[in-house]
Structure 1
Amino acid sequence: MSTATPQKFEFQAEIKQLLDIVIHSLYTEKEIFVRELVSNASDALEKLRHLQLTEKDVHDDNLPLEIAITTDDKAKTVTIQDFGLGMTREELIQNLGTIAHSGSKQFLKALGESGAKNSNLIGQFGVGFYSAFMVAKSVKVYSHSWRKDAPGHVWSSDGSGSYEIEEVDGQRRGAKIVVELKDECAEFAQDWKLKEILTRYSAFVGFPITLNGEKITTVQALWLRNKSEIKDEEYTEFYKFQAHAHDAPRYRLHFNADAPLTINALVFVPQENTEKLGFARLEPSVALYCRKVLIDAQPKDLLPEWLRFLKGVIDSEDLPLNISRETMQDKALLDKLGKVITKRFLKLLEEESAQRADAYNEFYAQFGIFLKEGAALDFTHKDQLVKLLRWESSLTEKGKTTSLADYVSRLKDGQKEIYYLVAPNREAIESGPYLEGFKARNLEVLFCYEAVDEYVFNNVREFDGKKFLSADHSDVKLEDVPQQGEALSEADVKDLTKWLKDALGAQVAEVKSSDRLVGSPALATNADKFASPMMRRMMKAMKKPGEADEPVKVNLEINPRHAVIKKLHALRAADADKAELVAEQLLDNALIAAGLLEDPSRMVARLNKLLESV
């Protein structure tokens, strides 16, 4: 019941400017007004909770610290009430009608000074409050201060340039905001709509929330609690809620920091890599919060792209946001926040790989592809990531892996390269001709089964001063080792290699005697290091329809001790035509072993001719 005549006030010019910005251009989603008003209510309750520790004479001191929301779809209203700090008449004018305390002046200044830090813009009642005018025909704020001797008031405005304040009786402590919705925004008076918005944006508010008398499920903000007080079961339940998961996380990282930024982070590694299972590319899933209020559920610029498999929450009080909490004004600070999280996560993986190798290998089997992506593309964290990579090798059992550091620890004296071979599986490598020269010399070779491996080696280039070199590349130079069997003479080898080059023509760049073959007659090496089988398939997939493929460019190496090569040398004089067919078949066999034969049709016709001569 009113006890005085309403008094009318004009908004200050800056408030009019602010309202225009809020209503027409600031927020991308109108539903944000619910988040803002609930956040303000939570702040008012938090302030009252601290004030009750020092003040004994508090108005309506037995009221519960909670937020009550009601909707009326017929009247098209949304009411948000808290029993928090409340406001006096003077505070209503200061916070809602002037720039003195609302933070509006600082915000308007920040619009012209990109990156200006202003933490007061977060949680101030008179700031996000104005978002209500995006959806409102009118807004009324009923409020009673915590001070017992202060009367209650109602503040009302349609946002057009003025507001009224009137004294009212019977008002409980705190604030009750009644938003009368515009016709086109009537959906916000629907119970289901408000419930969906509250679940998305206000799940971690620290006070109970009710909607039309029904309690809205809120989750404790575990990231703000002390790690020593949290049970594993609580972490698992939080992960299930945040990640929409049904199992326990594989790893978790929970840490708090005060410098260089105030950070409270809780992130998880899931059990499965859904990209590996054939599902769509993952989207960023570490949500960004500021004091328990959601800023962005999928921030694309917070963490590196290769960390898109992480789930969880990062909360920082240092974010310089405008009042919408949507637009970052300081990209450099966001980058710094992401680097802190990334560094801590990499440290966690380093510790796990050293202390719990089996569990780390299980993680790596699922998520190693992301670490490889980071090693190839993330220059900032490349060195840390490379140390975490794992591969099988010629010295490990099938299914067992080794790190680059362990590989280097086993280098032979004078070895300056880290050798690797790329193939679909271990069997393809071990049955091919490229490994035999290295095995004969007891040189370790990394076995790489993913196309990205070669991309990693080409971008990283070296580790601990040792360059990466594909074992099938023509640049490989191996020391001499004792060979079994009698070889063709140097003169015969010279004649044969020249004849092969002439017979094979443009199909080969060079033909020479091999120092790496033991049990195979010939092998093809990449004359171009970017023309490996997997790389060629990647480039071929990127070509436009009808675009011609680049011809395969290889060097052919022959084993002068092998029976096939000796017979070919003799066949040249006895049957030149048949010798030429054998030479072409020898090349195709080498291309098959290299994974470079793309059209077998000519080979089939040639084999039929050779069979006819048997």
Structure 2
Amino acid sequence: MSKKHTFQTEINQLLDLMIHSLYSNKEIFLRELISNASDALDKLNYLTLTDERLKDMKFEPYIELSFDEKKKTLIIEDNGIGMNEEELISNLGTIAKSGTKSFLSSLSGDKKKDSALIGQFGVGFYSVFMVSDKVIVQSKKAGEDKAYAWMSDGKGEYEISVCKRETQGTQITIYLKDEDSSFASRWEIENIVKKYSEHIPFPIYLNYTDTKFEGEGDNKKEIKEEKKEQINTAKAIWKMNKNELKDEDYKEFYKSFAHDNTEPMKWIHTKTEGTLEYSTLFFIPQVAPFDLYRVDYKSGVKLYVKRVFITDDDKELLPQYLRFIRGVIDSEDLPLNVSREILQQNKILVNIRAASVKKILGEIENIAKDKEAYEKFYVQFGKVLKEGLYSDYENKEKILNLLRFATSKGEQNISLKEYKEKMPKDQKSIYYMIGQNLELLKAAPVLEKYHQKGYEVLLMADEVDGFVIPSVNEYDKIPLKEASASETLKELGEEMIAPEIQKSFENLIAVFKEALGDEVKDIILSVSLTSPVALVGDEQNAMMANLMRQMGQEPPAQKKTMELSSNHPILQKLKDTQDKELLIDTAYLLYASAKLLESGSVENAKEFSNLLNKTILKTL
């Protein structure tokens, strides 16, 4: 007896898109199903070596494809781990871990681009509904007795019933739409497998009927022979020698492995022999993975031991700041039954990880030699690289060399090395400013002090900057200093204020202090400002502020010193004004405008607006 179920709302949305919109590259459905079958074989392969209940199982892994041109059907079968009833529901009927919500929110409306996202978001199974009227999945989980059939036409519901299946694994029967019947063809299937699944590390067999003719004339006979032929090399590409492989082999393996229709930007293939024996194959994608900035991001690296899949869910295989990397680590020295806890402290893996990080950073350094190529890389991955400054002390200098910054002189992608080479001889430090966006930073009045000296200031507006940059004390023996900090400004050697000028501003400063009270630390005169006012002072410790917020506490506001330009016409007129109310209102307006330039907002917008209107009216 079958039970009817309704797809989750998000799955319904996804299916509707698959069936009606994402038509640009239908053949990827077969790539996705073969990739899922390979994962199922990987998982069972591991269990037959580590699970006592399954150690006696005879495991000869295969993926088998069959088709019927007349019936317009295509069958994909594997003898992998299989699914029970509960797993059929969670994997094929609900959102589970598929990332469907992220997929839906990432759609652009461009059919070609959107269809390329299907595999990356773990929703590849549903692509089968682009080409089918009906799909039946029959599956039996390894070590269990019952088999179950899952059936759906992709129109909102699916049914699950008990079925018969002798061996563990999964069989998917696809009833093709009339316009997609070409997929029930030997040549079409072979071409797709060669294109996308050549390096799946398990044999893929194709069952087909070979028709031959014998004799001549009236004696000519049609002879049909059922054949089964392996149509992929089934070699683990990462175990092969580089000279056996072409660029195309790497590119197509990546597309299948990473479920990505775009070619990788670069790849790093290493085979190491000696004290440790291991192979690694890493890819740098062209486009950032959808979950790059999510806490629950999925690791893109699979761990194998002697070609046996161990895990694809260990975020410790590479440091977090390299989470955009896709690839494989295959060790000859680890035990097969290594546990998650042991993995995190295993010396072999620690050494492999350290060597892998150096290789990857080395390849990124190579990309950086081509300015245009590196700009494309940096747009995608620059922000996460910065995280390494805080977490990877050993490679801190390498990471610093890979970072790029905008500057107060209009540079967009300058390195610290380039900045240092351009520094005037009298400049003592590398100066930087951290803010909410580049436009606000460029407009910061305090930069005027640096322009007058001919000094360039690095402008940093990524969210991560406030957390990691203060932890960088120096670059190549030159200190890094926050440009608006009081101690840094002393380094510029501000020209002394003449006593008579200081005296002429005493009343104005007193009124401003009365007006602003505890809002500011102090109010002082400046001769180097060309803007009327600037806020200067030490930046809040971003790491401490972040920790306080994580504990549910709002960090205390940092008071800054307000500098008044002794040369600006506004201040020159204000110092001779006797209207105290106007002075108090103007003090607040100037302070609020400085805050506006600093953060893009004022705390009390209504009060600011009322005061502005009042002052304008009074002036008129």
TM-score by length of 1: 0.63
How many angstroms apart in 1 are the aligned matches of 2:539 and 2:519?
Answer: 14
SS at structure 2 position matched to 1:582: helix
2:362 alignment partner in structure 1? 347
Equivalent residue runs for 1:300-311 within 5 Å:
300-311=315-326
Question: Displacement of 1:457 after TM fit?
Answer: 1.3
- The match for 1:575 is 579
1:591 aligns with 2:595: yes
For these two proteins, the number of residue pairs brought into alignment is: 441
Compared CA separation, residues 592 and 214, structure 1 to 2 (3 A): same
Other-structure match for 1:524:
535
Aligned-residue CA RMSD (Å) = 4.2
Unmatched segments (≥5 aa) in structure 1? 1-28, 41-65, 71-77, 81-178
Cα distance 1:320–1:496, how it changes in 2: closer, same or farther (>3 A)?
same
> How far apart are residue 180 of structure 1 and its match?
10
Once residues 304 and 256 of structure 2 are traced to their aligned partners in structure 1, the CA distance between those partners, rounded to angstroms, is 16
Q: How big is the shift at 1:352?
A: 2.3
- 1:156-175 aligned at under 5 Å gives the runs none
1:563 lines up with 2:563 in the alignment: no
The verdict on how the C-alpha distance between 1:404 and 1:515 changes in structure 2, with shifts beyond 3 A counting, is: farther
Q: Is the 8 Å Cα contact of residues 591 and 597 (structure 1) preserved in structure 2?
A: yes
> Which ranges in structure 2 are unaligned for 5 or more consecutive residues?
1-39, 52-59, 65-76, 80-140, 149-162, 173-192, 208-226
Tell me how far apart the structure 2 counterparts of residues 69 and 426 of structure 1 sit (CA, whole Å): 53
2:607 maps to 1:602: yes
Q: Counterpart in 2 of 1:503?
A: 515
TM-aligned CA deviation for residue 556 of structure 1: 0.2
- Is 1:386 the counterpart of 2:362? The answer is no
Matches within 5 A, 1:527-546: 527-530=538-541, 544=552
> CA–CA distance in 2 between the matches of 1:469 and 1:180?
61
Map 1:236-251 to 2 at 5 A.
Answer: 236-251=251-266
1:454-465 maps to which residues of 2 (within 5 A)?
454-465=466-477
CA shift at 1:375, angstroms? 1.5
Q: Which amino acid aligns with 1:183?
A: D
How much has 1:412 moved relative to structure 2?
Answer: 2.2
Match of 1:161 in 2: none
Cα distance, 1:404–1:275 mapped onto 2, change above 3 Å: farther
Q: How far has the Cα of 1:32 moved from its partner?
A: 4.9
Deviations 1:152-192 (A, max 9, x none): xxxxxxxxxxxxxxxxxxxxxxxxxxx99653688995678
**How far apart are residue 454 of structure 1 and its match?**
2.4
Q: In the aligned structure 2, how far is the partner of 1:192 from the partner of 1:305? A: 37
Q: Which has the larger radius of gyration?
A: 1
Give the structure 1 partner of residue 145 of structure 2.
183
Per-residue CA distance 1:348-380 (angstroms, 9 max, x = gap)? 112221x32221221011101111111222223
Could you tell me which of 477, 493, 497 is aligned with 2:490? Answer: 477
Say if 2:484 and 2:538, in contact at 8 Å, map to a contact too.
Answer: no
CA separation of 1:288/1:477 partners in 2, compared to 1, >3 Å: closer, same or farther? same
Distance 1:606 1:207, change over 3 A: closer
CA distance in 2, matches of 1:180, 1:576: 86
Match of 1:422 in 2: 434
Deviation at 1:611, TM superposition (A): 2.9
Separation in 2, partners of 1:244, 1:428: 40
Q: 1:35 to 1:299 in 2, by over 3 A?
A: same
In structure 1, distance between residues paired with 2:394 and 2:423: 28
Match 1:193 to one of 156, 162, 169: 169
Alpha carbons of structure 1 residues 256 and 283: separation in structure 2 relative to 1, 3 Å: same
In structure 1, what is the Cα distance between the partners aligned to 2:166 and 2:378?
47
Which whole-Å deviations, capped at 9, do the CAs of 1:402-460 have from their partners, x for residues lacking one?
11111112222242321112344443333331222211211011121212122221122
The residue type paired with residue 576 of structure 2 is: A
Contact 1:522/1:559, CA 8 A, preserved across alignment: yes
CA distance in 1, matches of 2:393, 2:320: 13
1:112-151 alignment runs, 5 A limit: none
Q: Distance in 2 between matches of 1:182 and 1:482?
A: 84
C-alpha distance in 2, partners of 1:357/1:185?
Answer: 57
Corresponding residue number in structure 2 for 1:373: 387
Q: What CA distance in whole angstroms lies between the structure 2 residues aligned with 1:526 and 1:482?
A: 18
Q: Is the 8 A contact 2:386 2:468 kept in 1?
A: yes
After TM superposition, give the deviation of residue 585 of structure 1 in Å: 1.4
> Aligned AA for 1:521?
P
For the 8 Å contact 1:39–1:293, the answer to whether it is kept is no
Is 2:246 the counterpart of 1:270? no
Paired with 1:203 and 1:38, the residues of 2 have a C-alpha distance of: 23
CA distance change for structure 1 residues 377 and 549 in 2, over 3 Å: closer, same or farther? Answer: closer
- Look up the SS of the partner of 1:504 in the other structure: helix
User: Are residue 550 (structure 1) and residue 575 (structure 2) matched?
Assistant: no
- The structure 2 residue matched to 1:314, chosen from 329, 342, 363, is 329
Please, which moves more after superposition, 472-481 or 549-558?
472-481
Number of the residue aligned with 2:9: none
Alpha-carbon distance change, 276 to 221 in structure 1, aligned in 2, over 3 angstroms: closer
The AA in structure 2 aligned to 1:446 is: L
Change (3 A) 1:488 1:453: farther
Residue deviations 1:224-246, cap 9 Å, x none?
Answer: 22223311111110001110111
Q: Is the 8 A contact 1:488 1:566 kept in 2?
A: no
Structure 1 residue aligned with 2:224? none
1:286 positional shift: 1.0
Residue equivalent to 2:526: 514
CA contact (8 A) 1:525 1:556 kept: yes
How far apart, in 1, do the equivalents of 2:344 and 2:576 lie? 79
* Per-residue deviation, residues 477-509 of structure 1 (Å, max 9, x unmatched): 2545899x9997122234433442233211111
CA separation of 1:37 and 1:209: change in aligned 2, threshold 3 A: farther
Structure 1 250/32 Cα, relative in aligned 2: closer, same or farther at 3 Å?
closer
Aligned-partner residue type, residue 391 of structure 2? L
Counterpart residue number, 2:425: 413
- SS of 2:425's equivalent in the other structure is coil
Specify whether residues 181 and 566 from structure 1 end up closer, same or farther in structure 2 by C-alpha distance, changes over 3 A only.
closer
Q: Deviations over 1:69-100 (max 9, x none)?
A: 99xxxxxxx999xxxxxxxxxxxxxxxxxxxx
Write the distance in 2 (CA, Å) between the matches of 1:30 and 1:327.
24
Q: Determine helix, strand or coil for the equivalent of 2:394.
A: coil
Cα offset for 1:320?
3.0
Single out whichever of 327-336 and 580-589 deviates more from structure 2.
327-336
Distance 2:257 2:248 in 1: 14
Structure 2 CA distance for aligned equivalents of residues 181 and 210 of structure 1: 27
Other structure's SS at 1:261 match: coil
Change (3 A) 1:281 1:442: farther
- In structure 2, the partner of 1:62 is none
- Contact preservation (8 Å) 1:525, 1:557: yes
- Alpha-carbon contact 2:361-2:398 (below 8 Å) kept: yes
Out of 348, 356, 367, the residue aligned to residue 370 of structure 2 is: 356
- Comparing 378-387 with 242-251, greater Cα deviation is found at 378-387
Distance 1:562 1:540, change over 3 A: farther
Query: Helix, strand or coil: the match of 1:509?
Result: strand
Question: SS in structure 2 opposite 1:451?
Answer: coil
Q: Is the partner of 1:409 in helix, strand or coil?
A: helix
Aligned match of 1:338: 353
Partner Cα separation in structure 2 for residue 366 and residue 385 of structure 1: 16
